[in-house]
Chains A and B, each alone.
Chain A
Amino acid sequence: MSLDSRTIKHHLSGQGILMSIGPICTRISIKFPSIRDDFLHIYKGYSFLEGPEITDFYLDVYGRNFYRRYLRPQVAINTLMNDNYVPLPVSMGLLSVEMGMNWQMAVGCKTHILFHAGVLEKNGVGLIIPAISGSGKSTLSAGLAYNGWRFFSDEFGLLDADSGELCSYPRPVSLKNESISVIKEWVGMDEPFSREYEGTPKGTICYLRPPNSSIENMHKTVQPRVVIHPVFNPDAKPDIKPLTETMAFFRLVRSSANYGDIGEPAFHALAKIAKECISCEITYSSLEEGIQLVNKFIDENLP
């Protein structure tokens, strides 16, 4: 039961439309036509609802003053969560939408353990790719997503502390600078990409919609089995370095945004992953090599 794009657009420009991704339901309203178009393109095929539905987050994307909508237009966002974002020019519109949703997750989600990590699944094997920015996590996640893996998430990996299972939260992947052309070539078609937003605080940014099958299956969970910490270095030799249990544990803690908030259940859940999953650090110099190393490590080590 999907809504047609006119209805979605109508609500999006007014009181807001409900968008349900994984366990989260957000009401979004966008006051700028150009941002609405970008938004609808990148979120094509996602689940929109007219309501009524109990809402987790509210996101308002608006012009601060009336004239700001027309004269050197600037877009502000309201997440209702103590954000303090500097307004961006409208030409970078989708960025503020994505930033807003990221902020709401990072600050507001405590029911799941959040990893700053890519998460993917293949043959019932859950893979976590935790990483700091610049490690090529997004590139690797996007590459795997368009190479036979089911995409769960790029920015926020969600773990249910009670069941120990990973939940899917398949938002678009945010690609930066050099990785944009790499992934465009890898994917082989332009349709799932957004426009390229130049001159952002992080350089050029382009969003990539995950494959349709990943979006359609967003309610299927998976057991984590593998944790791989990527290090991208164009001059390095390919390398796989296994991690001890203690190292694996503390690296997971470090990559989690809300470990401290959840407390003891998170401690036990991460200890379980450190104990039961196979963990390593890979160093790679190209996307293809990275994917080879991931497959190699899994083939050789997964019981």
Chain B
Amino acid sequence: MGIGVVIVAKKKVIFSFPPSLVEEPITYVLIKNYDLQVNILRATVRPRDRGRMVVELKGKKENLNKAFEYLEGAGIQVDALVQEMRHRPELCVSCTACVPMCPTGALSVNRETRELEFDHNKCIICEACIPSCSYRALESQF
């Protein structure tokens, strides 16, 4: 029987790193030095541009905090995953065409009002919904 890791914290965040740090093995360090589970949900790295990564981190709370300190020291910006994907209710007509495109259930229909609901906590910014919206009511800032 192994000793199970007590997971006390889980966080979904965005790493933004400058071109100079694109070759830094960040995930390796997070796993090896801070004993974190790293689930990469999305990543973009373009030549000469900043890299961005959406990750879900799981691990002991103190390790998570230490990891954030390491990232900050290394020059990597860590942001909470909010408002990266925007649903604009003033443009949305609640046609619900986006709902079956969403793999995580972040987009759903309210059973009573039949209006579209967006839960940004469930969104992984995969952007699969964007082409299905004919009213430009879904936009990504990623």
> Does A pair with B?
no
State the B residues within 8 Å of A (CB).
Answer: none
